[in-house]
């Protein structure tokens, strides 16, 4: 199986090249040229095995130039009970409220307490093997722009991995205190963390510019290094996310919540459009899906896009209590457009050029009609997010984080509007303890304590849930990284940190 660029069909690369490079030279994203197709019998067979077994099958079908041994090694090393708390890295909580059935797919039991671990625990294994295959001997320099969770998950995945260095940029005022603490205290000899004066989109654009800067690239080459990405523009980030949608379906089958062939709705709190896109790939591989429900916070550029067919990033940017979704340019939408145009790279390149030149583009009626058929977009502001956390806690005894609450809220809007009670899998993307202040505010009527850890402890005491160990252990950790830089200083910061300026 090979991969194309979304902006230039003549670019054809192997799986390992796609993963090692992260992004195509002309700025396009790598997409599989075709997809494996699973029948219901194939899915039933997947249901007979465990998460790791499902992962091995799916990885095997996508990573054409990897051996079975390499895939097996990677999967076994990534999804261990030590890292994910149990043999099932993605457990489901079932909630029935009236005739509405929600299966909350908890994707945050990994080492950094957000769903990014599902991909970033395995990406370093895939990436180092990919670099060996195609660029033997080179050191991979991983550049990451983060809205909070990717940064920590990538740092944790790549720390002290031979042949790699990792640099993370985060918006100085755009992450939660816990997210900041997680990154600033990161251990490892090959890591660095820098705050930028700007928002996530600035960080992401800055990183993309460095990737495609030929002068910087030449400097790296001279020093036997190459850039790669741990953001969801990298195919190696998306592929692991396909697994948990199949796995969730298998678990629903095994728990007799659905029958083989029954359709499900998929609800995803969305930022960069990676997570929801993985479920779209799963459907195209044979997973029975009825609707994709794309949930946004006040930064509702995707809600408008799905409703109107016009993507317009020229709007106010809001800093919300669900910071990992504070994004106006959702990179992975480009991949969706590629598939919805049946692989029309010219058209995708044109829309992406319009987006960067004018800040907006409008899709044609063919793509719009497909969007209407498959997607529902909705949004939820901070007040409603807090109200949903409270409601879920008081009525269902379920404590969820701010991002998951956005998804639950939009899902309820969807059911109200359409009456569609198809069983829903709701992606729960972070531990409530990562956003302790907002969650505590929502469930408690008392005055909040000042200190972050006092809030964490109070949340635990009130809700009788335990603080995840990786967060509890940060309380007294040493702060290692305090550097800040301006967006236009990012290239220099990277070169300095690599000592190749």
Whether 475 contacts 453, CB under 8 Å: yes
Does residue 403 bind ligand PLP (CB under 6 A)? Answer: yes
Least separation in angstroms between residue 259's CB and ligand PLP is 30
Does residue 493 bind ligand PLP (CB under 6 A)? Answer: no
Does residue 269 bind ligand PLP (CB under 6 A)? Answer: yes
Does residue 272 bind ligand PLP (CB under 6 A)? Answer: yes
Cα separation, 298 vs 98, whole angstroms:
28
Least separation in angstroms between residue 403's CB and ligand PLP is 4
Whether 438 contacts 114, CB under 8 Å: no
From the list 273, 398, 411, 433, which residue makes contact with ligand PLP (rule: CB under 6 A)?
A: 273
Cα separation, 361 vs 338, whole angstroms:
14
Tell me the window of 43-51, 91-99, 165-173, 273-281 that interacts with ligand PLP (CB under 6 A): 273-281
From the list 324, 384, 409, 493, which residue makes contact with ligand PLP (rule: CB under 6 A)?
A: 324
Counted residue by residue, the chain has a size of 501
From the list 325, 329, 348, 440, which residue makes contact with ligand PLP (rule: CB under 6 A)?
A: 325
Cα separation, 408 vs 430, whole angstroms:
13
* Residue closer to ligand PLP (CB basis): 138 or 181: 181
Alpha carbon of residue 169 to chain centroid: 16
Least separation in angstroms between residue 124's CB and ligand PLP is 18
Which residues does 140 contact at the CB level (< 8 Å), separation at least 6? 20, 127, 128, 131, 163, 164, 165, 225, 226, 227, 228
* Residue closer to ligand PLP (CB basis): 330 or 341: 330
Does residue 275 bind ligand PLP (CB under 6 A)? Answer: yes
Cα separation, 297 vs 287, whole angstroms:
27
From the list 91, 171, 274, 470, which residue makes contact with ligand PLP (rule: CB under 6 A)?
A: 274
* Residue closer to ligand PLP (CB basis): 265 or 275: 275
Tell me the window of 131-139, 264-272, 304-312, 479-487 that interacts with ligand PLP (CB under 6 A): 264-272
Tell me the per-residue interface mask from 413 to 452 with ligand PLP, x by CB under 6 A, - otherwise. Answer: ----------------xx----------------------
Whether 31 contacts 8, CB under 8 Å: no
Least separation in angstroms between residue 376's CB and ligand PLP is 15
* Residue closer to ligand PLP (CB basis): 171 or 269: 269
Does residue 296 bind ligand PLP (CB under 6 A)? Answer: no
Does residue 114 bind ligand PLP (CB under 6 A)? Answer: yes
Whether 491 contacts 219, CB under 8 Å: no
Does residue 351 bind ligand PLP (CB under 6 A)? Answer: no
**Phi then psi dihedrals of residue 256, to 5 deg:** 60, 30
Cα separation, 432 vs 119, whole angstroms:
20
Q: Is 470 helix (H, G, I), strand (E, B) or coil?
A: helix
Does residue 267 bind ligand PLP (CB under 6 A)? Answer: no
Taking Cα atoms as reference points, which of 61, 107, 72 lies closest to residue 88? 107
Whether 403 contacts 324, CB under 8 Å: yes
Cα separation, 278 vs 280, whole angstroms:
5
Tell me the window of 253-261, 272-280, 340-348, 439-447 that interacts with ligand PLP (CB under 6 A): 272-280
Label residue 157 left, alpha or beta by phi (over 0 means left) and psi (-120 to 50 means alpha). Answer: alpha
**How many other C-beta atoms can be found within 10 angstroms of the C-beta atom of residue 442?**
25
* Residue closer to ligand PLP (CB basis): 306 or 430: 430
Tell me the window of 39-47, 78-86, 271-279, 367-375 that interacts with ligand PLP (CB under 6 A): 271-279
Which residues does 349 contact at the CB level (< 8 Å), separation at least 6? 6, 7, 8, 26, 28
Least separation in angstroms between residue 136's CB and ligand PLP is 32
Does residue 341 bind ligand PLP (CB under 6 A)? Answer: no
Sites of contact with ligand PLP (CB under 6 A)? 114, 116, 149, 232, 269-275, 324-325, 403, 429-430
């Amino acid at each position: 199986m090979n991969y194309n660029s979304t902006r230039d069909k003549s670019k054809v690369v192997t799986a390992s090249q796609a993963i090692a490079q992260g992004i195509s030279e002309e700025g396009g994203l790598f997409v599989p040229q075709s997809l494996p197709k699973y029948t219901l019998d194939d899915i039933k067979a997947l249901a007979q095995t465990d998460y790791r077994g499902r992962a091995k099958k799916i990885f095997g079908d996508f990573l054409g130039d990897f051996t079975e041994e390499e895939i097996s090694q990677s999967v076994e090393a990534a999804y261990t009970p030590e890292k994910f708390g149990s043999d099932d890295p993605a457990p489901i909580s079932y909630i029935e409220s009236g005739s509405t059935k929600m299966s909350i797919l908890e994707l945050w039991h990994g080492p950094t307490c957000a769903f990014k671990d599902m991909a970033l625990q395995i990406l370093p294994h895939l990436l180092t093997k990919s670099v060996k295959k195609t660029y033997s001997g080179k050191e991979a320099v991983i550049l990451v722009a983060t809205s909070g969770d990717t940064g920590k998950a990538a740092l944790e995945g790549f720390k002290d991995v031979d042949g790699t260095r990792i640099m993370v940029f985060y918006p100085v005022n755009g992450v939660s205190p816990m997210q900041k603490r997680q990154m600033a205290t990161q251990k490892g000899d090959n890591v660095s963390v820098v705050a930028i004066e700007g928002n996530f989109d600035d960080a992401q654009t800055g990183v993309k510019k460095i990737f495609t800067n030929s002068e910087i690239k030449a400097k790296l080459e001279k020093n036997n290094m190459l850039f790669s990405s741990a953001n969801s523009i990298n195919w190696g980030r998306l592929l692991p996310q396909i697994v948990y949608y199949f796995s969730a379906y298998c678990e629903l089958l095994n728990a007799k919540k659905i029958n083989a062939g029954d359709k499900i709705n998929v609800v995803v709190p969305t930022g960069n459009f990676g997570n929801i896109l993985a479920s779209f790939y799963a459907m195209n591989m044979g997973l029975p899906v009825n609707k994709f429900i794309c949930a946004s916070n006040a930064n509702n550029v995707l809600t408008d896009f799905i409703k109107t067919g016009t993507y317009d990033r020229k709007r106010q940017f809001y800093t919300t209590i669900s910071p990992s979704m504070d994004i106006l340019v959702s990179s992975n939408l480009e991949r969706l457009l590629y598939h919805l145009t049946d692989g029309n790279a010219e058209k995708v390149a044109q829309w992406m050029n319009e987006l960067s030149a004018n800040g907006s583009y409008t899709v044609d009626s063919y793509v719009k009609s497909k969007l209407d058929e498959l997607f529902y977009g909705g949004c939820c502001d901070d007040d409603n997010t807090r109200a949903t956390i409270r409601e879920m806690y008081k009525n269902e005894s379920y404590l969820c984080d701010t991002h998951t609450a956005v998804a639950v809220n939009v899902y309820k809007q969807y059911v109200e509007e359409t009456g569609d009670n198809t069983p829903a899998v709701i992606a729960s993307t972070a531990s409530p303890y990562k956003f302790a202040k907002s969650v505590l505010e929502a469930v408690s009527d008392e005055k909040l304590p000042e200190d972050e850890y006092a809030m964490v402890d109070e949340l635990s005491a009130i809700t009788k849930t335990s603080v995840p160990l990786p967060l509890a252990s940060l309380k007294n950790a040493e702060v290692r990284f305090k550097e800040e830089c301006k967006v236009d200083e990012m290239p220099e910061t990277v070169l300095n940190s690599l000592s190749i300026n």
